[in-house]
Amino acid sequence: MDYVEPVEALLPGVQGKVLGVLARNQTELSMRAVARLAGVSPQQASVVLGHLIDFGIVERRDVPPVALVRLSPDSVAAQTVAALANLRQTVLDRLTELGGSICPAPASLIVFGSFARGQAGAASDLDVLVVRPAGVSGDDDGWTDSVGAWSDRARRIVGNPVNLVEVSADELPTLLGRPAPSLWSDIATDGVLLLGAPIDTVGVAA
């Protein structure tokens, strides 16, 4: 799944491009601005917007000499498009909720890489750091099965491959002490915390 432009990914063509622009902007836009941001001609944008206005998905307000448009806030269809544009955050919320099924609870569960930065395209993996809590060994069957089940479900939720990086809480101080730039400094800076504590505090607490 393309999480940079999810509307355009599922609604290819000019209509998807126009809807994607409207969904990512909370304010009214002129038709010409929509065309420019969507990378289509003003004529193409005008035709598509006309259809969307007829459907009730888009509202038009004339402010001579321009016409301003936006997604209709009361339209369920428009709300669905807006929700699709916010797909990345919805997925992060679902992954956080699903993380409650991991037992014992990880000391930290963090999404990093392109997904965390909002740059995940169709070919991107979901990179996840799982920090095993103190006192749980890496060959603990319950832990391994629980994390594996979370990863399998996460892959189905996201639609992209899941790349798990697992470390123990005891390892973190050494890993975080590596000179920047490194994977660990990137995770500490850009990672999105789903569960547990920030990694720069896990090692201290452990």
Its domain, for residue 39, covers 6-84
Are 23 and 104 part of one and the same domain? Answer: no
53 shares a domain with 10: yes
- The Cα diameter of the chain in Å comes to 69
Rounded Cα gap, residues 171 and 176, in angstroms: 9
Per-residue model confidence (pLDDT) at position 70: 97
Residue 206 has a pLDDT of 38
Look at residue 186 in the predicted model and tell me its pLDDT. Answer: 86
CATH number at residue 67: 1.10.10.10
Look up residue 35 and give its two tokens.
Answer: 């065309």
* Structural domain count of the chain: 2
How many Cβ atoms sit within 10 Å of the Cβ of residue 18? 29
Residues of the chain with pLDDT under 70: 180, 203-206
